[in-house]
Amino acid sequence: MGNDTKYIFVTGGVLSSLGKGLASASIGALLESRGLSVTIQKLDPYINVDPGTMNPFQHGEVFVTDDGSETDLDLGHYERFTSIKMGQDNNFTTGKIYYSVISKERRGDYLGGTVQVIPHITDEIKNDIKLVSDSVDVVIVEIGGTIGDIESLPFLEAIRQFKTDVGKENVIYIHLTLVPYIATAGEVKTKPTQHSVKELRSIGIQPDILLCRTDRFLSKEIKAKIALFCNVGVDAVITALDVESIYEVPLIFHNEGLDDKIIELLNIWTRAPRLEAWKDLVKRIKSLKHSVKIAIVGKYTNLTESYKSLNEALYHGGFSNDCKVNLFFVDSENINADNCKEVLSDVDGILVPGGFGTRGIEGKILAAQYARVNKIPYFGICLGMQLAVIEFARNVAGMTSAHSSEFDEKTTFPVIYLMLSWYDEKTKAIQKRDISSEKGGTMRLGTYPCILEEGTLAHKAYGTYEISERHRHRYEFNNEFKEILEEKGLIISGTSPSKDLVEIVEIKEHPWFLGCQFHPEFKSRPMQTHPLFQSFIGAALKKKLE
């Protein structure tokens, strides 16, 4: 741990979903714009060891990092707003921390001593924070949950102690709260913020900066009132305004003086911020000329958090095509042969995302068929690719009962199946697995290389022959059916270097039809759109303008 590393702890009060993740990401963006090196860590109070097995309805999407860690969706915000590459040390949960402490206790590391929350759990938390501290100027640590939750107490105690451990000049606490506008009274109310700060101070943490989430800029009077009751400087009360686009947040914070205040409190010297790229981006977002309607056919469609990175990647595809992307969520369980045309008739593109489980599978297959037959741009991601292969096998290659062995173990044409052995480019060894391997263990997780075929849609989009993308899936394309499917017009445009694994498929004589086994959305950035999203939205716009 560098002696001069500075720490910013971000907590949230009043209620959840106020945007701590975006706030932390925006602070990271502002500090990077000043030339500082930054990393961000998320500490989650839930007891699951990681979000990999959690229902997306409850906790939003699972964000996969290069090293194959299944992490919280906030890590996606961190990567989209900064140049940081996230990994397993950027996300810790209560489950992961207790698991580690209990393992040490079982091994006898504590020499038979009584293992307690303080100091053992809190020490473990502090050590985990130090894991990401090397070689960066500032570590931003976001504490999940809301002040007052019983689960987050050990984390708050750990960050309280941290100030004493590393010196008070090296730590600041930023607290995000809600300042609601009560229409009947015609005024904003500061009481929730006062209560939240009081709660925080009762456990020994005095916030240095308050981010006040609100739908209007706070007046000088209101800021002075909050400052007085919460024991902070008036210039440390920052309006965290509701904005049209999340990419405005860093600029709002900067205009409110947040980065200046952070630099002052941490006593760091930096250059002036360079925010031109952010300003250009926001200007572009606010003046998009065209628009397209993209259908997302999935089963978590009533909750946008379930597809956070995907939605953002689609918006990015729009930014680079001067085009607003309107998302139309379709529950695949409600699609059948009779209404498919009616549901999808006015969309400019169809996307079938990744997912697990059998619900709504036939509806997704119908969506892929509709896109193929009617020449509508189609993008299949992970499961969306597999279902496009099944649809093609059934309706073009004559294998009417084709399926994935995930959904039908007895199918005579398992075009998608659990591959029992393949050459792993990471370990440079043959990987083996079977149906009884533990759930997480059978997954292909993290980045894998892929070689593209010349002249294909994928090759044109990427403009290169070798790519590396992040995966999170269990079943694979069955090479036994490769020849017959290719004969019928399926193009295999991307494979692993060993050719064992099919990564991208396309079809002939279609304006834009592509399925990929990986999750490209995890690598898309607002200022660097992922090539496949740029190409897909471009094709959708072309179709609309024809």
List residues forming the annotated binding site for L-glutamine.
355, 383-386, 406, 474
Compute the residue count for the chain: 546
Is residue 61 within 8 Å of 112, Cβ to Cβ?
no
Whether the upstream peptide bond of residue 45 has omega within 30° of 0, thus cis, is no
- DSSP-H helix ranges across 148-190: 153-166
Residue of 192, 362, 172 whose CA lies nearest to 268? 172
Residue of 485, 541, 487, 486 whose CA lies nearest to 512? 541
Is residue 325 within 8 Å of 294, Cβ to Cβ?
yes
Is residue 517 within 8 Å of 474, Cβ to Cβ?
no
Is residue 437 within 8 Å of 484, Cβ to Cβ?
no
Catalytic residue flag (residue 212): no
List residues forming the annotated binding site for Mg(2+).
74, 142
Residue of 146, 147, 214 whose CA lies nearest to 179? 214
The pair phi, psi for residue 311, each rounded to 5°, is -60, -45
Catalytic residue flag (residue 521): yes
CA torsion angle 149 153 155 160 (round to 10): 120
List residues forming the annotated binding site for CTP.
16, 149-151, 189-194, 225
| Calpha distance 204→191 (Å, rounded) | 20
Is residue 385 within 8 Å of 354, Cβ to Cβ?
no
Is residue 327 within 8 Å of 514, Cβ to Cβ?
no
Catalytic site residue from 79, 248, 312, 521: 521
3-state helix, strand, coil in the chain (%, to 5): 40, 25, 35
Angle at 371 between CA 290 and CA 325, to 5 degrees: 25
Catalytic residue flag (residue 157): no
Catalytic site residue from 77, 316, 459, 519: 519
Catalytic site residue from 382, 471, 476, 506: 382
List residues forming the annotated binding site.
16-22, 74, 142, 149-151, 189-194, 225, 243, 355, 383-386, 406, 474
Q: Which residues pair with 292 in a beta bridge?
A: 325
List residues forming the annotated binding site for ATP.
17-22, 74, 243
- DSSP structure string for 486-542: HHTTEEEEEE-TTS-SEEEEEESS-SSEEEESS-GGGG-BTTB--HHHHHHHHHHHH
Q: Which residues are catalytic?
A: 382, 519, 521
